[in-house]
Amino acid sequence: MSLTPPENRLWWKEPLHGIEITWITIAFLWGLLMFGVMVYWHMTGEQNLSNEAYRINPDVYAEKVEAAAEKYTVRVDEQSGMPVVRPPAGTDVYMLARLWEWWPILELEKGKEYRLHLSSLDWMHGFSLQPTNINLQIHPNYEMVLTIKPTETGEFGIICNEFCGIGHHEMLGKMIIVE
């Protein structure tokens, strides 16, 4: 039994059972298929995380976000006092994470592509866009750039889902998608 040395001292020479070979083969092929699906999705799927990222100093990133906000602010959100920024469709849009807010509020058009820049000014944060359910890890000193194409209109919450201290649960941002 499993608690004592194998009875057959030449256990590695025992032939395999048919059912074992079958299961090992199926399981191995399934692994290969799962590998193939990932690669296939990179070629044909529409939801792939970009590989574009840059090292950046948090102060430099903050300046970029503020410059963009200054240029394209259309109004101030009454509830939070945060600027609502609406850059032209197809351009670069910037958002930053810091203790404990996502800044600014972005207003984007449905069906248009945007290059979204994300980085943190202090600790790690989690970008969780809801209810569409897109979740990204946001680091300080790394600027992530990804192309997004909103497919529905409405107000979307950006929850921080990486623990970032005592104000973590107050860290809530917004993205507004309009026609």
Residues 57-76 that bind another protein (CB under 8 A): none
Our finding on whether 107 is near another protein (CB under 8 A) is no
Write down the least CB distance from residue 30 to another protein, Å: 8
CA distance 108 to 50: 20
Q: Specify the stretch interacting with another protein by CB under 8 A; choose among 64-72, 80-88, 90-98.
A: 80-88
Q: What are phi and psi of 32, to 5 degrees?
A: -65, -40
CA distance 109 to 167: 31
The nearer residue to another protein, 24 or 74, going by C-beta atoms, is: 24
Our finding on whether 38 is near another protein (CB under 8 A) is yes
Sheet holding 154-160, edge to edge: 73-76, 83-85, 105-109, 172-178, 154-160, 125-130, 134-138
Number of residues that bind another protein (CB under 8 A): 91
The nearer residue to another protein, 73 or 128, going by C-beta atoms, is: 128
The nearer residue to another protein, 72 or 123, going by C-beta atoms, is: 123
Phi-psi region of 136 (alpha: psi -120 to 50; beta: other; left: phi over 0): beta
Write down the least CB distance from residue 171 to another protein, Å: 7
Q: Specify the stretch interacting with another protein by CB under 8 A; choose among 66-74, 83-91, 168-176.
A: 168-176
Nearest to 47 by CA among 160, 174, 146: 146
Cα-Cα end-to-end distance for the chain: 69
Per-residue mark of binding to another protein, 131-160 (x: CB under 8 A): xxxxxxxxxxxxxx-xxxxxx-----x-xx
Our finding on whether 43 is near another protein (CB under 8 A) is no
Write down the least CB distance from residue 88 to another protein, Å: 19
Asked if residues 177 and 152 have their Cβ atoms less than 8 Å apart, the reply is yes
CA distance 109 to 89: 7
Write down the least CB distance from residue 108 to another protein, Å: 10
